[in-house]
Amino acid sequence: MLSEDEKREIEEQLKHYDVKRPACIEALKIVQRYRGWVSDEAIQDIAAFLEMTPDELDNVATFYNLIFRRPVGKNVILLCDSVSCWLLGYDAVRERIRERLGIGLGETTADGMFTLLPNVCLGTCDHAPAMMINDELYRDLTAERVDEILEQIKQGTE
């Protein structure tokens, strides 16, 4: 079941288009914002609300890498692995995260606190290497900076 808030937000998006389907990507993002990820049940509920079949909607949901069809941690790390970040130390940042959190790309910590995902160029190449955690962009990363940031977020989440 979609919550009243979710329905209200999706309806707001419907105003931007003459038909319902174009709102489906926004609808997936809205539900994900409330629940962290998009379950099979959510796919069915959103599809029904937008007069699509669940298969039509899942076809869309599975295309976009920022729609999560599996559960993720409370904090999602999007680590840029594109060329400028690679040139300036992406490997070292990824290894530092592995040392600190014990997770590699595509993995979630046992306590459900962090998920690490690779991401294409974050468009901040003059401050490479970079990553996003949730809505926040972190740039000019070094091993020490990564430690500080992860510690801050751990404290903020608890």
Q: Is 125 a residue that touches other proteins (CB under 8 A)?
A: yes
Please state the closest distance from residue 14 (CB atom) to other proteins, in A. 11
Q: Tell which residue, 139, 144, 143, 135, has the closest CA to residue 126.
A: 139
Answer for the pair 19, 9: CB distance below 8 angstroms, yes or no.
Answer: no
**What is the secondary structure of 25-88 as a DSSP string?**
HHHHHHHHHHHSS--HHHHHHHHHHTT--HHHHHHHHTT-TTS-SS---SEEEEEE-SHHHHHT
Please state the closest distance from residue 111 (CB atom) to other proteins, in A. 26
Please state the closest distance from residue 99 (CB atom) to other proteins, in A. 21
Answer for the pair 91, 109: CB distance below 8 angstroms, yes or no.
Answer: no
Using the rule CB under 8 A, which residue among 74, 127, 145, 154 binds other proteins? 127
- Both tokens of 45, joined, read 């509920």
- CB nearer to other proteins: give 115 or 124: 124
**Residues 137-156 contacting other proteins, CB under 8 A:** 137
Query: Which range in 4-12, 58-66, 98-106, 143-151 contacts other proteins by CB under 8 A?
Result: 58-66
Binding mask 38-57 toward other proteins (x if CB under 8 A, else -) reads --------------------
Query: Which range in 93-101, 104-112, 129-137, 144-152 contacts other proteins by CB under 8 A?
Result: 129-137
| Cα 114 to Cα 2, 44, 120, 138, distances in angstroms | 26, 27, 19, 16
Residue whose pair of structure tokens reads 């038909």 in the numeric block: 19
- CB nearer to other proteins: give 137 or 147: 137
Binding site for other proteins (CB under 8 A): 16, 18-19, 21-26, 28-29, 59-60, 63-67, 78, 81-84, 86-88, 119-128, 132, 135-137
